[in-house]
């Protein structure tokens, strides 16, 4: 029989889920992420920016109207992104907007700049954060005849300069992809919910270490295979399975109070699927041909670093809760809410895929 305290907490959790169901059904929570492809040809530069979702600040300025928010984006990009060649500003020629398709969240902007001379020393400065929000991160892949580079734009790192004729240091690619990996795990709420579900069962330090190691090894393997396009699974299958993994592990917490080998095996299996989900960004951007291994290593190290930070932050809190008089009740209620949230997310993704 469910204890009264558990039932109360569960009812509060259901109410919270109901409150966020509407907004979350339209857009994933968290900050928008930008993916920019920058192509240099002679004295021209084409900047193609894809936003994972409409930034919250733009939506607020448009009074919550997605169409009006999208229409604001070309002016934001033309005003906020500055391109210079050898210290001389280049002129913007046009900005085109590809609105989000029905049922999709991403929106794409394509802008062209013309420089007076062939591009030799490129300076890119991104001040769109003033309009799009300081929590936006944009990973740009810059390509030209005979070379390519990557740079992670953020509110604290707004400018990069490239000497087109010079070889690009391999460390530049590693650093940018490391940041991308960290942002991806910290902004990937479904991966974080899965981690939380794994940690909700009180366990020894060694048991937690085995579980986290299993998750790390599993998703590292499929991340590499997917990013290198050796393994290709349908995106809809990956996303629905990730949602199912949250519901399953959270539900299992009620029946297996001591995580043993079974939890390690379950984590390994679901970790393989999560690795395919991690690789989505890399497939969107494409790995640099000359620095593929370095970029992949940097991204994976970023994911692992973000994962360690999350576990280090959650574990002491959950252990403190478990030691309280009604700690088990609270942990059970959290597992129940995670199970409901995973099932709801699963339903959303299945219906979107149909």
The pLDDT assigned to 59 comes to 87
Residue at 49 is within a domain: yes
pLDDT tens-place values along the chain, 354 residues long: 444 444 444 444 444 343 333 333 333 444 567 888 899 998 999 999 988 788 888 888 888 888 888 888 999 998 999 999 999 999 998 888 887 654 456 788 999 999 988 998 999 999 998 888 888 888 888 888 877 777 888 888 899 988 886 555 555 557 777 877 887 788 778 889 999 999 888 777 788 889 999 999 999 999 989 888 888 888 888 889 999 999 999 998 887 767 678 889 999 999 999 998 888 777 766 666 666 777 788 888 989 999 999 999 999 999 898 888 888 888 889 999 999 999 998 998 888 766
pLDDT of residue 173: 59
The residue segments making up the domain with residue 78 are 33-168
- HEC profile of the chain: CCCHHHHHHHHHHHHHHHHHHHHHHHCCCCCCEEEEEEEEECCEEEEEEEECCCCHHHHHHCCCCHHHHHHHHHHHHHHHEEEEECCEECEEEEEEEECCCCCCCCEEEEEEEECCCCCCEEEEEECCHHHHCCCCEEEEEEEECCEEEEEEEECCECEEEEECCCCCCHHHHHHHHHHHHHHHHHHCHHHHHHHHHHHCCCCCHHHHHHHHHHHHHHHHHHHHHHHCCCCCCCHHHHHHHHHHHHHHHHHHCCCCCCCCHHHHHHHHHHHHHHHHHHCHHHHHHCCCHHHHHHHHHHHHHHHHHHHHHHHHHHHHHHHHHHHCCCHHHHHHHHHHHHHHHHHHHHHHHHHHHC
Whether residues 200 and 337 share a domain: the answer is yes
Q: Are residues 327 and 190 in the same domain?
A: yes
Handedness of CA 63, 66, 68, 74 (dihedral sign): positive
Structural domains in the chain (count): 2
Please report whether residue 178 resides in a domain: no
Q: Are residues 19 and 52 in the same domain?
A: no
In terms of domains, do 195 and 344 share one?
yes
Same domain, 109 and 214: no
CATH number of the domain encompassing residue 66 = 2.60.40
Per-residue model confidence (pLDDT) at position 13: 45
For the entire predicted model, the pTM comes to: 0.63
């Amino acid at each position: 029989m469910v204890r009264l305290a558990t039932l109360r907490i569960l009812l509060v959790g259901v109410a919270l889920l109901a409150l966020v169901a509407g907004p979350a059904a339209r857009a994933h929570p968290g900050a928008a992420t930008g993916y920019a492809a920058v192509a240099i040809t002679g004295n021209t530069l084409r900047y193609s920016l894809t936003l994972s979702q409409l930034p919250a600040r733009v939506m607020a300025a448009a009074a919550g109207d997605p169409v009006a928010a999208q229409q604001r984006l070309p002016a934001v990009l033309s005003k906020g992104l500055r391109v210079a060649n050898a210290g001389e500003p280049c002129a913007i020629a046009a900005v085109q907007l590809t609105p989000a398709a029905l049922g999709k969240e991403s929106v794409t902007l394509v802008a062209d700049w013309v420089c007076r001379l062939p591009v030799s020393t490129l300076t890119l400065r991104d001040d769109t954060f003033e309009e799009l929000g300081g929590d936006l991160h944009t990973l740009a892949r810059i390509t030209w005849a005979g070379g390519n580079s990557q740079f992670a734009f953020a509110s604290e790192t707004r400018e990069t300069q490239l000497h087109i004729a010079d070889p690009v240091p391999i460390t530049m690619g590693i650093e940018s992809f490391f940041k991308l990996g960290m942002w991806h795990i910290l902004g990937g709420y479904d991966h974080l919910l899965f981690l939380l579900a794994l940690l909700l069962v009180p366990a020894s330090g060694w048991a937690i270490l085995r579980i986290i190691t299993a998750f790390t090894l599993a998703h590292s393997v499929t991340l590499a295979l997917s990013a290198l396009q050796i393994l290709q699974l349908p995106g809809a299958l990956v996303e629905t399975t990730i949602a199912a993994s949250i519901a399953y592990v959270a539900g299992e917490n009620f029946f297996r109070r001591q995580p043993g080998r079974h939890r390690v095996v379950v984590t390994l299996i679901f970790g393989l699927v999560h690795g395919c989900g991690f690789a989505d960004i890399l497939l969107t951007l494409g790995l640099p041909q000359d620095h593929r291994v370095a970029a992949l290593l940097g991204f994976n190290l970023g994911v692992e670093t973000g994962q360690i930070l999350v576990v280090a932050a959650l574990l002491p809190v959950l252990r403190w809760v478990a030691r309280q008089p009604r700690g088990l009740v609270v942990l059970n209620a959290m597992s129940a809410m995670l199970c409901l949230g995973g099932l709801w997310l699963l339903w959303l993704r299945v219906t979107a895929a149909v």
